Amino acid sequence: MGRIGTIVNRKAKQDSKRAGIFTKLTRSIIVAVKEGGPDPEYNAALLSAVEKAKAANMPNDNIERAIKKGSGEGSEEDYFEVSYEGYGPGGVAVLVECLTDNVNRTAGDVRAAFTKARGNLGTSGSASYMFDHVGVLVIDRERSMDEDTVMLEALDAGAEDFTTEEAHFEIYTSVSDFGQVRDALKEQGYRFSLAELSYLPKTLQKVDESDVKDMHRLLDTLEDNDDVQNVYSNWEEADQDS
């Protein structure tokens, strides 16, 4: 399975929790607007946030309201980007990205999630070195698609790596080239089931059977928190569907 496989599977589980996903997506849109303006054509972060919202079937009315809130219409909320890193049971490295209006609350919630799962919250840099920060584009495979053609067009657009899986193609870019590659492939008519900057583990970590339940508890607790936007780990789940 490609490097992004676990993330794709976990995001599918997250998407089933629709209300919570919409809250997270709304926050990401608000922050993107505040930082770069309300026009997706000139704001790459907003364009990415809106595309993720549409991929999650978020209603257009919700997206428009979030953009208006980010522009200062009807909202005094101010969100801050914070991140945490640490280790779960069995030494699994975990990165947590958050958007919050109350840093103290979020820090306490994240620390409690690690503690209850027999993990430890670390300092900045304590776990992030075990991941690569990259752009990820996933294209679902269709019968009409020729693998070589997709690969060549991706590489010509500036992609650094390309992987073929049974159900999809995985395209990897540098952080700086992500927007360029995404836009070039979009112009070629491709649609993405996943298009975002992500942290991918350099190596995967297995855990003993006795640690599996607590590892699930840690990830689920973090992902259920409205302040948490993304959770990354280097856990190698045995069946990828547990």
Query: Where residue 8 falls among pLDDT bands split at 50, 70, 90?
Result: low
Buried b (16+ CB within 10 A) or exposed e, 103-114: eeebbebbeebb
Q: How far is CA 46 from the centre of its chain?
A: 15
β-sheet bridge partners, residue 162: 171
What CA–CA distances, in Å, run from 199 to 1, 89, 175, 218, 230?
Answer: 17, 20, 11, 18, 10
122, 85 contact by CB (below 8 A): yes
- Token pair, residue 14, equals 């997250």
**What is the side-by-side order of every strand in the sheet holding 80-87?**
120-121, 80-87, 93-100, 228-233
Per-residue pLDDT reduced to its tens digit, 102-148 = 999 999 999 999 999 999 999 999 999 999 999 999 999 998 999 99
Give the residue carrying structure tokens 């395209």.
171
Q: Number of helices and strands (H, E) in the chain?
A: 8, 8
Per-residue pLDDT reduced to its tens digit, 34-50 = 989 999 888 888 988 99
Confidence check: pLDDT of 12 > 70:
no
pTM (whole model) above 0.85: no
Query: Where residue 196 falls among pLDDT bands split at 50, 70, 90?
Result: confident
- Mean local confidence (pLDDT), 214-239: 92
3-state SS string for 127-181: CHHHEEEEEEEEEECCCCCCHHHHHHHHHHHCCCEEEECCCEEEEEECCCCHHHH
Strand, coil or helix: 201: strand
Confidence check: pLDDT of 242 > 50:
no
- Burial-class residue 129 by CB neighbours within 10 Å (0-12, 13-18, 19+): exposed
Q: Show the domains of the chain with their CATH numbers.
A: 5-70 (1.10.10.200), 80-129+203-233 (3.30.70.980), 130-201 (3.30.70.980)
Mean pLDDT of the chain: 89
119, 89 contact by CB (below 8 A): yes
| Residue of 166 and 83 predicted with greater confidence | 83
Sign of the CA dihedral running 95, 49, 240, 163: negative
